[in-house]
Copies of this chain bind each other. A is one copy, B any other.
Amino acid sequence: MATLNDIGVAAAINILSAFAFFLAFAILRIQPVNDRVYFPKWYLKGLRSSPLANGAFVSKFVNLDFRSYVRFLNWMPAALQMPEPELIDHAGLDSAVYLRIYMLGLKIFVPIAFLAFTIMVPVNWTNNTLERSSLTYSDIDKLSISNIPTGSRRFWTHLVMAYVFTFWTCYVLKREYEIVAAMRLHFLASEQRRPDQFTVLVRNVPPDPDESVSELVEHFFLVNHPDHYLSHQVVYNANNFSKLVDEKKQIQNWLDFYQNKYERNPSRRPSLKTGFLGLWGNSVDAIDFYTSKIERLSRDISAEREKVTNNPKSIMPAAFVSFKTRWGAAVCAQTQQSRNPTIWLTEWAPEPRDVYWENLAIPFVFLTIRRLIVAVAFFFLTFFFMIPIAFVQSLANIEGIEKALPFLKPIIEMKGIKSFIQGFLPGIALKIFLLFLPTILMIMSKFEGYISLSALERRSASRYYFFQFINVFLGSIIAGTAFQQLNNFIHQSTNQIPKTIGVSIPMKATFFITYIMVDGWAGVAGEILRLKPLIIYHLKNFFLVKTEKDREEAMDPGTIGFNTGEPQIQLYFLLGLVYAVVTPILLPFIIVFFGLAYVIYRHQIINVYNQEYESGAAFWPDVHARIIVALIVSQLLLMGLLSTKEAAQSTPLLITLPVLTIWFHRFCKGRYEPAFVRYPLQEAMMKDTLERAREPNLNLKGFLQSAYTHPVFKSADDSESDITMEEWEQEPALIPTKRTSRRCTPLPSKHSGS
């Protein structure tokens, strides 16, 4: 059992490392040479230009103004200053609503923590069950429910508090859902004309021997939506084509690299070996080699382009169909077209930059099979990943290490090291395992055939959450104490689970506190340093960059990363709700996490991240549902815990809690969820009418013409398409902030330009 002292050491370590990160960040970010790493968003908006262009040579790279080092935390208030409406303008609704999740954490847990510390902690503290028992215990346990004697009447406090916490959480959740739904509707209503408002994606166009896909689509919609159909664009299978284009880009990078090398050292032409990894084989002139390779690829690319556009086999049975009005598109997206429900499938087209083009080529029949395969694979991934984690954790407790490696005993028993291992190691082991995961989950989602990046990220997020729930939360609670329990647990009954877990929960509080500090404090503080993009940018800058445009492409602003970030937040919601009644001492740690993460991510969203798509906060129903799940889990575990404490009269009262919570969820689902999945006809009609009045001569067909062309075609003939892109990507005039505002080419997002 970790003592308060151990936790103190761990807290000190983590606070120190967080401060170290902040200090490093403070120093690095004011160096002009890092400007594109720490403020890429402003470059992409065209509101900031390279500081390398002017000033003395040294001050181009290093900040010599020592006063700026003193105010090393001044980014924090700056991050909080931008008001929300401006933030939505600046970074999109997705980002603004994403920040609200952290806010939601504060709104839920600050009052809960206040209540818990004024009411529950005194009730727990004024017992002496643990003192009289023969168990080893720490001061933390004295504050927790473990300190209440079995069968005590004091459990009524916990029961009442469980109700209060549930009602408070539900109240905050409902209010937040209401606000976010209103924000979404307002955002959609105030938005400028966008191609996806008029466009529907049609999949599974049935094959026809007499007509091409394009003709078939045109005829079908002319017949069935005669008053509304405008035009359509068929989908090409350009996966091969874009692979070639990507390859060319990579080779071009190598060519640039060698050309730079040659320019710096003109005395010696660079050469390379053609064999495996450049380790052996014939030595050739590198520049000539890559130049000829690029020529060959360019030929291949134009041949492939020819093939894709002319061969009817490369046309997929799918099309983007555009309508004359938003009303027509809303109708088509929400209705069934054909009597056979598996053909002529219509759904809202995602934003053009949100489309995941590779998956449009998957025929519908394979989708069900793919989903089955992924479901089975995910099951195995989830339940067999558990074994290594449990193994590492069982090693990572002191007794385990001492047993496994007895010669280490004298070192481990040193006080500082012992605390370090106990405070740090279990969290780290878990974190390393989890680093590999999001990529695997994203691949799974892609294999399942979702057709927009936003859907892919949402799907991966829910998988990741489930994984974390099973492996981090349950895995740590059960397998962490004793590895051999795992096997028993599988053969144990399902009903017993709440009891087993409920009993272990108070004992694992210290573990989770250290986990929160490592993952939530130091980890989040590390996020602001952007170590990986920093290194990559400087490498690229040194080896590849020749023009200002190259330098712009070397920037990697990154995105929020909904698929990893949101499940992480959800884990904290889960921990907070579960421990709120059991061990309230955990709550301050979680509040610090939410506060810190809010500030840091707000800063990053303002200055760094560049969202690849704008889904209009379509993820909120998922966020809401997962907090509800956490709430229900916390109620079930409390029930399990109390039933072992012989507070059995509480069970019926506790059972009503999940029933009410589920009912609340269904109520919210009916009330708010449609705002996130459907598009009301009234709204569509209103916008159509307004538009017709304002711009009676609008050439909609021209506007929609090339909106849904595969980006690989666009990047090939850059000049024309960039204009169309710009036309609809233009944001409303920005309020200039403190930062220097000089216009530079705004970049399209990473993916649409790939």
User: Nearest Cβ in chain B — how far from A457, in angstroms?
Assistant: 23
Partner of A335, one of B223, B494, B681: B681
Q: CB distance B667 to A341 under 8 Å?
A: no
Q: Is A212 an interface residue (CB 8 A)?
A: no
User: Nearest Cβ in chain B — how far from A437, in angstroms?
Assistant: 23
Interface SS of A by simple majority: helix
Q: Is A680 an interface residue (CB 8 A)?
A: yes
Q: Is A33 an interface residue (CB 8 A)?
A: no
**Given A341-B674, A674-B341, residue A681 in contact with residue B368 (CB < 8 A):** no
User: So how many copies of this chain end up in the complex?
Assistant: 2
Q: Is A752 an interface residue (CB 8 A)?
A: no
**Given A339-B185, A492-B493, A683-B339, residue A372 in contact with residue B663 (CB < 8 A):** yes
Interface string of A664-701 (1 = CB under 8 A from B): 00110011111100111111010000000000000000
Q: CB distance A681 to B493 under 8 Å?
A: no
Which residues of chain B have C-beta atoms less than 8 A from A336's C-beta? 334, 674, 678-681
Which residues of chain B have C-beta atoms less than 8 A from A225's C-beta? 681
Which residues of chain B have C-beta atoms less than 8 A from A674's C-beta? 336, 341
Cβ-closest chain B residue relative to A499: B493
**Given A335-B330, A376-B659, A685-B224, residue A342 in contact with residue B671 (CB < 8 A):** yes
Interface string of A311-347 (1 = CB under 8 A from B): 0000000000000000100110011111101101000
Bound form: Cα–Cα A526–B670 in Å: 45
User: Nearest Cβ in chain B — how far from A223, in angstroms?
Assistant: 7
Q: CB distance A685 to B223 under 8 Å?
A: yes
Cβ-closest chain B residue relative to A676: B341
New A-B contacts (10) at CB < 8 Å, excluding given A224-B682, A344-B682: A224-B681, A330-B335, A335-B681, A336-B674, A337-B682, A338-B680, A341-B672, A376-B659, A493-B495, A495-B495
Write the residues of chain A forming the contact surface with B, with a CB cutoff of 8 angstroms: 185, 220, 223-225, 227, 327, 330-331, 334-339, 341-342, 344, 368, 372, 375-376, 492-496, 659, 663, 666-667, 670-675, 678-683, 685
Interchain residue pairs with CB less than 8 A apart (26): A220-B682, A224-B681, A227-B227, A334-B334, A334-B335, A334-B336, A335-B680, A335-B681, A336-B674, A336-B681, A337-B680, A337-B681, A337-B682, A339-B680, A339-B682, A339-B683, A341-B675, A341-B678, A342-B670, A342-B671, A368-B663, A368-B667, A492-B493, A493-B494, A493-B496, A495-B496
Q: Which 8 A-B pairs have the closest CB atoms?
A: A493-B493, A341-B674, A493-B495, A494-B494, A494-B495, A336-B678, A334-B335, A336-B680
